[in-house]
Structure 1
């Protein structure tokens, strides 16, 4: 559903309980996406019903027609999808996990479709959105066909590393922009500037709108990234669902170990899972007495003889990129610190730092100490063996 806001009809601040507005309820809900996804889903669902009841949005309008206070609500489907993906899946609950992922894919599709209509997506983002949509539709067409494994949708191609790096840098840039805008808003509030007056090129509404749009740009990048990751997870979830179904089918034919004693009293009790116990009997060579040694064969003895990977190639690449960024930051910091260290005056002139009085004074002290050391240690004074030995060699 494509929706935009009618600013003249109703404001988000007009809705909600006597204690909280609709906007306050929305931001309180999305703060629970990671810590309490189940509660977040129920709160967002109630907020969505209130938005529909208020007719807060209408079709066929542009981004300019949406009020500033209504822009955050455009990302409601994105946060609903994030909460669904973050729901914990216990043992034997892969079907529920698959259902949650499929719902999240649908919600991300609705979110990005709306942004495409509002012309918020870039050309590259639009192409990536349609590629993911085509892959999802192909999966729906192949879903349930277990006989022909060749028709199963493969794992999504790993996103290009350059694309991931560019998206990461763009997100960092947007985050810096958001911090600057928030700092400007706090400064306006401290100075008591009227809403219609400008500061640094922003009045209150344009500042709030720029901040809301910057956050929306971050959300669209996160939606594309998480949609792609969920598409790569889906085939693995389906494989686990099939394995669970096969295991349950085998249990039905072999009998349920949990109630085997009641239905089949003549059947031996199920294994305890503690592993086999083996007794070794040996004879002492000196005393001739028998020795008994009991060993336990652990149930997890059959393990690979090599170290298993602890992360995916994608996670390794992300870690290496983070380490490279940290090294670059440390190098820049070291260069900045070195630039402010005292050194020879001619080096200060070369670096254009001769106007820094404190640095010039510290450098002059360094020059005096160097001159004093040279006076105390004239050239060649350390050569104590100069007048010894055969001069012919």
Structure 2
């Protein structure tokens, strides 16, 4: 009997409650590995709802019992859980995942519009001119603001309905308010779902462009381990660069193979690359010019001492600087010393090469 009880499928109420609690844990920062479990539970719950025919074709809100009305949230909850599943096969896997989330959300909005006239009316307003012309940036912003305001109004209406249910006095009033709370919850989920569909459409557009622009990967399968090493094969078809097998002999004459990886210098330019931008070079030139200007100004303002003054006697006479007797005497002594040196060392006196022959 225990085995039969374990093999019996769980009722939809238990599946829905378990999945809803697990999704709440995921959205509060729980382990992302539980997302697949949550999706599986919601799949079973939706299959049970289909088996019970809770939402037949053409049904309205009046055709569904209050106890079964919340199960219309299953497609939206499944999309939220599926969006948190970890994808390990790149953009293609993420594309398939987001497409399934988009499909679940569209199914939920369709069901919510059938159950609630207010959701159906909002959907009609949102799709008035979608096929007539491409929306402008102003239209996109206006729609985003409208969705945000609708989401805020629905959340406030849900909170107000929950407060009213809490304050209910009679069972009849409580039954009526319970249905109002579920309808308000459907409207709140629909507003959130419309915003999520817009985000899904943007991501799908980006992922489809990535998939169309991705070049096909063609990797030649290596014949053996040495061929795999020489080709630089990696798991997933990625290569690690050109590899070379060098053969040489050691001192004993034994042939040895050395495996080397040629990486640096293969794709380098033949010229030296710049080390700074033009703006940085201009800043350095301006600073150098300012420093030279300051040095020239300081040199012009500096008056040399008598020992530093290298002017000759005739230059001092031309510049009418004869009243500076010390400077004049110093220049005359320097000129006389130079004249004496020239007299003692005539031109060519240092050339002794001819006298040695």
Residue 103 (structure 2) aligned to one of 99, 103, 106? 106
Q: TM-score, normalising length from structure 1?
A: 0.48
Q: TM-score, normalising length from structure 2?
A: 0.52
Greater C-alpha radius of gyration: 2
Q: Does 1:195 align with 2:171?
A: yes
**Residues 234 and 59 (structure 1), Cα distance of their counterparts in 2 relative to 1, 3 Å cut:** closer
**Residues 127 and 185 (structure 1), Cα distance of their counterparts in 2 relative to 1, 3 Å cut:** closer
Q: Is the 8 A contact 1:33 1:82 kept in 2?
A: no
- In the alignment of these two chains, the number of paired residues is 231
- What SS does the aligned partner of 1:87 have? coil
2:92 is aligned to 95
Q: Is the 8 A contact 1:32 1:39 kept in 2?
A: no
2:326 is aligned to none
- What SS does the aligned partner of 1:269 have? strand
Q: Distance in 2 between matches of 1:249 and 1:217?
A: 50
Q: Distance in 2 between matches of 1:50 and 1:234?
A: 30
Q: Does 1:40 align with 2:10?
A: no
- What SS does the aligned partner of 2:171 have? coil
Instruction: Output one character per residue of 1:245-281: Cα deviation in whole Å (capped at 9) or x when no partner.
Output: 44x34898995542779x9762743759xxx9xxxxx
Residue 195 (structure 2) aligned to one of 225, 231, 237? 225
Q: Is the 8 A contact 2:147 2:194 kept in 1?
A: no
Cα distance, 1:234 vs. partner?
Answer: 1.4
Q: Is the 8 A contact 1:41 1:84 kept in 2?
A: yes
Cα distance, 1:209 vs. partner?
Answer: 0.9
Cα distance, 1:126 vs. partner?
Answer: 2.6
Q: Distance in 2 between matches of 1:81 and 1:23?
A: 14
Structure 1 unaligned blocks of 5 or more: 1-14, 136-153, 197-202, 277-296, 302-393
1:78 is aligned to 76
**Residues 18 and 124 (structure 1), Cα distance of their counterparts in 2 relative to 1, 3 Å cut:** closer
Q: Is the 8 A contact 1:22 1:47 kept in 2?
A: yes
Q: Does 1:165 align with 2:145?
A: yes
Cα distance, 1:217 vs. partner?
Answer: 0.7
1:269 is aligned to 261
Over the aligned positions, Cα root-mean-square deviation in angstroms equals: 4.3
Q: Distance in 1 between matches of 2:22 and 2:138?
A: 32
